[in-house]
Amino acid sequence: MKTATERAKVDGTTVYRKSVKPANDNILKPGSNNKKLGFTITKGRWRGKKLFSLTLEERATCPTYCHHWEDCYGNNMPFAHRFSNDSDFLDYVRRSVCSLLDRYALGIVVRLHVLGDFYSTEYVSFWASLLTEFPTLSVFGYTARWDDDIADAINDLNQEFPNQCLIRYSRNEEYDEISEHRFAAAQDFSGDSFTCPEQTNRTDSCADCGACWGTHCLKTVKFLSH
């Protein structure tokens, strides 16, 4: 009989299926709920903005070739609320973005995604439309997408909104001057890189660091194994 983790890997779902919730008005979580993220950004080009996060269902929205398909750190997050990308999902995200931007004059930054990934080119286009409509909205994050239409769309997103968006590709590679791809690597990567300052206690949180989305930070960021 398969364990819950074994079934999740075969079925392409989270281990914790009861944790997947329908989209609602609280779909964007404040970074203050997560010690690693933090809330008020204190450094870099997005200083003063408030940090929020979006969590989707791991595997269900991820490419099957993700190198963390089997050992996803979502396997160790039983209490995380994953939001289903159901028919109301995009409407709730947009409503939440509008509401938060009305509340915070300097704008907000959305971490995409604590769990899960960009699941379609249409979803990437959705974020492009929001970044166009709301100049005080910014996004950053990481994607396992590579060499497919979704990865190409993410690259277009980075290129079209260089002051509002920085999505790094999760690969053990150095900055690519031709494509301008930036990367996030495993801790054993030996190329030009820096280790996440929050993980090494050199800063309290992402909000107090900003290196991953820094304009001039072209180096690959390395993350310690979870």
Quick: pLDDT tens for 165-179.
999 999 999 998 888
pTM across the whole model: 0.95
Kindly report which listed range (32-36, 138-142, 166-170, 222-226) carries the lowest average pLDDT score: 222-226
194 strand-pairing partners: 221
Q: How far apart are CA 43 and CA 49, in angstroms?
A: 10
Q: If pLDDT is split at 50, 70 and 90, which confidence band does 217 have?
A: confident
DSSP 222: E
- Is residue 206 a contact partner of residue 31, using CB atoms and an 8 Å limit? yes
| Residue 226: per-residue pLDDT | 63
Work out the average pLDDT over 173-190: 91
Q: What is the mean pLDDT of residues 150-162?
A: 97
User: pLDDT by residue (tens digit) across 80-90?
Assistant: 999 999 999 99
